[in-house]
Structure 1
């Protein structure tokens, strides 16, 4: 019997606009589906970071209309929308975690015991994926605007991956220097960061690939070196 490979796809992308105020899956979301190896994968959207925003949920269902995907969602507000959270999560092929407040997401997950369930799902081979807050959450932590416009560091991520994480690295100008300071000062361990449109594929706890769904999107490794931050650009495979 083949042992499942724990897999995480941490991104700053995955969906784009359809031009009519709707969403369409883009290269990184499509990659998450391919990673499952299933002909018709079961995808569960987890919108906790947005406060289980109903419009976000509806847009996600609509985005996969006509696709060979069985879509469900897991809401926690005002109560879980499924009878057995663990059973629902473990029945999926891929979990896609949406963006929003990573601090709020982590608090709600722990309140409902979802943190332990997600580790179990990861170890069982369910592909864990997501964007922004849905990227930081799998790591030790990273810069976030969960508390207001000025960035702060969260360090209570699920830590399935022993690194820090930076998102929206090219589109929000304060994120790069903030991550550099956090790594140089020891608030975060060595960290990976993604431009908008880039994603990081981890197999187990090792980086196994860097992908870009748009031209010019890159990823980076930021490490502490002599009290400063050293940034290395990581080559990306174009989806």
Structure 2
């Protein structure tokens, strides 16, 4: 090496420490760039699970987790043996969601023009696993090395999700009906270091889960009723969500020989374009119609009672009046009202009324399984109802 080349080499080596100082200083004082670089090197590992098979509200939650306008989301129906019914249901859900949907079938022949599982799954923003036979699904995944692909996906930052069998699979183990006759504990992939029990409202599953934890045969774990879900990030519980107040999630452990069951506070799932709580007034009633008739009524209550009398046969009127209970009245923009009421068959109606010429007119009904679902139905559809009714009366 000549003296000139040696000088250049030494100068370059002296510059390296200076360059590193400048680089790390820039990253430190510029948190946006620093955070971006760190997130790419060590992406967040996200898993979302719920208690039953796939449904639209939970898939929308997965879409929101991606923070992308049209995320690539792949449905993995292995647990149902790639059944036509589960695939058709997935396709029906996707029609009304802003996603780029895919399906990864594993019941394939190498003679067909199939794309390798890894190429499909590792190109996604999220992967959703459907319900079915957990035990069979795990065996197939291991035979096809899909378990290893899913681990790569998680480390890459691809969101993993699913309900029922699609919930158990991410945990160390969980309560499953995969074997004949009796429910049992089935091993999962162990991405989450806990046990799991979907369909927790079912007595047999709940009792087995409690017994196994109490006897320390399985680790402490998380349970979900059918319409509730849990979000985990980097292996830690972050948030519980639910479609209504009757479905909840729980953390269950054993301490000093006693079972401890913690009910987790849930956020209710509501569409992004729904009314916020501050957009409408809530008038609490919680009285039967007959009780309301004996008191001074507001105009909306009077309109509701008139509506009930008009749509009920005369020989059934007393029965309906005695069995109907007004829970709350919701008023939006002073011209759209929803009377949430409980009817004789224990379902909740959202009876809509529109104010025109200073008179409340009946404007149709929606149904909710619970008071919360009834209110959510109103919040999600109020703007649509207002547009329709304004066009009708103007």
TM-score by length of 1: 0.91
State which of 46, 59, 84 in structure 2 corresponds to 1:7. Answer: 46
Task: Give the Cα–Cα distance (whole angstroms) in 2 for the partners of residues 185 and 66 of structure 1.
Answer: 46
Q: Which has the higher helix share?
A: 2
Asked if 1:68 corresponds to 2:127, the answer is no
| CA-CA distance at 1:100 after TM superposition | 0.5
2:252 touches 2:262 (CA, 8 Å); kept in 1?
yes
Q: Check whether the contact 1:14–1:29 (CA below 8 A) recurs between aligned residues.
A: no
- Which 10-residue stretch deviates more, 228-237 or 88-97? 228-237
Q: Alignment partner for residue 34 of structure 1, among 55, 61, 64?
A: 64
Where does the alignment leave 5 or more consecutive residues of structure 2 unmatched? 1-36, 270-394
Find the aligned partners of 1:236 and 1:30 in 2 and give their Cα distance.
17
| Residues 1:141 and 2:173 are matched in the alignment | yes
Distance 2:106 2:145 in 1: 11
SS of residue in 1 equivalent to 2:69? coil
Contact 1:165–1:193 (CA<8 Å) still a contact in 2? Answer: yes
Matches for 1:1-239 after TM superposition, within 5 Å:
1=37, 2=39, 3-13=42-52, 15-16=54-55, 25-26=56-57, 28-79=58-109, 82-154=114-186, 156-170=187-201, 172-239=202-269
Indicate the structure whose relative CO is greater, using CA pairs within 8 Å and at least 6 residues apart: 1
Give the structure 2 partner of residue 19 of structure 1.
none
Query: Structure 1 residue 214: deviation in Å?
Result: 2.3
Asked if the contact 1:74–1:82 (Cα under 8 Å) also holds between the matched residues in 2, the reply is: no
Could you say which residue in structure 2 is the equivalent of 1:20?
none
Whether the 8 Å CA contact 2:60–2:97 is kept in 1: the answer is: no
5+ residue gaps in structure 1?
17-24
CA separation of 1:14 and 1:175: change in aligned 2, threshold 3 A: closer
Q: CA deviation at 1:14?
A: 6.5
Report the alpha carbon displacement of residue 66 of structure 1 after superposing the two structures with TM.
Answer: 4.2
Q: Give the deviation of 1:132 after TM superposition.
A: 0.3
Partner deviation per Cα, 1:91-114 (whole Å, 9 max, x = no partner): 111111000111111101000000
- Over 3 Å counting, the alpha-carbon distance change for 1:42 and 1:225 in structure 2 is same
Residue 10 of structure 1: SS of its match in structure 2? strand
Tell me the CA shift for residue 184 of structure 1.
Answer: 1.1
**Higher mean C-alpha deviation, range 157-166 or range 70-79:** 70-79
Can you list the C-alpha shifts for 1:36-95, whole angstroms capped at 9, x where unaligned? Answer: 111101110000001110221122112211432111111111447842111211111111
Output the TM-score relative to the length of structure 2: 0.56
Deviation at 1:15, TM superposition (A): 4.2
Task: Confirm or deny: 8 A CA contact 1:82 1:88 kept in the other structure.
Answer: no
* Aligned counterparts of 1:144 and 1:78: Cα–Cα separation in 2: 26
- Coordinate RMSD, CA, aligned: 1.5
- Distance in structure 2 (CA, Å) of the matches to 1:119 and 1:79: 24
Which of 142-151 and 126-135 deviates more?
A: 142-151
Shift of 1:149: 3.9
Post-superposition CA distance 1:197-218 (Å, at most 9, x none):
1101000110011111223211
Q: How many equivalent pairs are there? A: 228
Task: Say which is worse superposed, 51-60 or 221-230, in terms of deviation.
Answer: 221-230
- Structure 1 pair 137/15, CA: closer, same or farther in 2 (3 Å)? closer
